[in-house]
């Protein structure tokens, strides 16, 4: 059984640590900085076997150099020369084996053009989606188009509902506050917001989420519902799902 543990980093990042049963060899996803990872590995006497990278932003790659120097792990990620240290570049459709689990590489451009996500089928199914899908939200469009991001999110919507969603940031509270405005008739959002406020007061992570939960509370996955479409219509275009998505994403930027 694979366990996945959050290592909080920087202001609101999670570096996810994957461990198979009691193996001493582990993998981390998107190490934005090295010290909290090193501290965790030392405390638990673990060895860093591999690193997965979703995209080039510094808050996901900043710890690479130091971790490579110290542990010489296998480093897997997108073929982007801006990321120093990747020795195994992967692309959409590739499969990689990490500590006994097979991961599908899924291209999910939108936040950045190089953005990849990693999905492992099985029990439980695992999704590492970086800054593409967040709990109740999605990443900002820095490099890609709304259409690219919407296409990426639709790929996630097809995954099994019990898939655990390991997003890279603790943005849930702000996302749910926006979701309450963008999906005003959704009681699940109101309930999730209360739960999230409680968790954050206790300084507990609100992740992982699940695909099933996201289908219920994430406005960007609910652009086809009357509630979201009508709310988007008060802010911009909503003539089809992509237009509604585009309006939501722009609305969130100024929310
Ligand atoms: Zn990013
Ligand atoms: Fe980020």
Q: In this model, does residue 60 exceed pLDDT 90?
A: yes
Share of the chain above pLDDT 70, in %: 100
The mean per-residue pLDDT over the stretch 204-219 comes to 98
User: Looking at residue 236, what is its pLDDT?
Assistant: 98
Conformational region of residue 67, where left means phi above 0, alpha means psi within -120 to 50, and beta covers everything else:
alpha
pLDDT for residue 22: 87
CA distance 236 to 238: 7
Longest dimension (CA), the chain: 56
CA of 8 to the centre of ligand 2 (A): 13
What's the half-sphere exposure (Cβ side, CA atoms, 13 Å) at 159? Answer: 31
CA distance 193 to 180: 8
Q: How far is the CA of 139 from the centre of ligand 1 (A)?
A: 7
Q: Does residue 1 surpass a pLDDT of 90? A: no
Contact 159, 125 (CB under 8 A): yes
Nearest ligand (C-alpha, residue 30)? 2
Q: Is the pLDDT at 207 greater than 90, yes or no?
A: yes
Q: What is the pTM of this model?
A: 0.98
Query: Model confidence at 254, in pLDDT bands (50, 70, 90)?
Result: very high
Give the model's pLDDT for residue 217: 98
Q: How far apart are CA 119 and CA 164, in angstroms?
A: 10
């Amino acid at each position: 059984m694979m366990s996945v543990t959050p290592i909080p980093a920087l202001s609101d990042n999670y570096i996810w640590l994957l461990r198979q049963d009691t193996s001493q060899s582990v993998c981390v996803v998107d190490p934005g900085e090295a010290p909290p990872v090193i501290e965790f590995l030392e405390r638990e006497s673990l060895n860093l076997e591999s690193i997965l990278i979703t995209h080039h932003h510094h808050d996901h790659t900043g710890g690479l150099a130091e971790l490579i120097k110290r542990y010489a792990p296998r480093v897997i990620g997108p073929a982007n020369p801006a990321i120093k240290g990747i020795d195994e570049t992967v692309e959409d459709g590739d499969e990689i084996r990490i500590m006994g689990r097979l991961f599908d590489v899924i291209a999910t451009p939108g936040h950045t053009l190089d953005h990849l996500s990693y999905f492992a089928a099985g029990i439980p199914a695992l999704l590492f989606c970086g800054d593409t899908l967040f709990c109740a939200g999605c990443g900002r469009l820095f490099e890609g188009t709304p259409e690219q991001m919407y296409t990426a999110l639709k790929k996630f919507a097809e995954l099994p509902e019990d898939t655990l969603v390991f997003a890279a940031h603790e943005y849930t509270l702000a996302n749910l506050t926006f979701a309450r405005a963008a999906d005003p008739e959704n009681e699940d959002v109101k309930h999730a917001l209360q739960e999230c406020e409680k968790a954050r007061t206790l300084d507990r992570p609100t992740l992982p989420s699940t695909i099933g939960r996201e289908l219920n509370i994430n406005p960007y996955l609910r652009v086809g519902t009357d509630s979201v479409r009508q709310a988007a219509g008060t802010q911009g275009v909503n003539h089809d799902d992509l237009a509604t998505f585009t309006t939501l994403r722009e609305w969130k930027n100024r929310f």
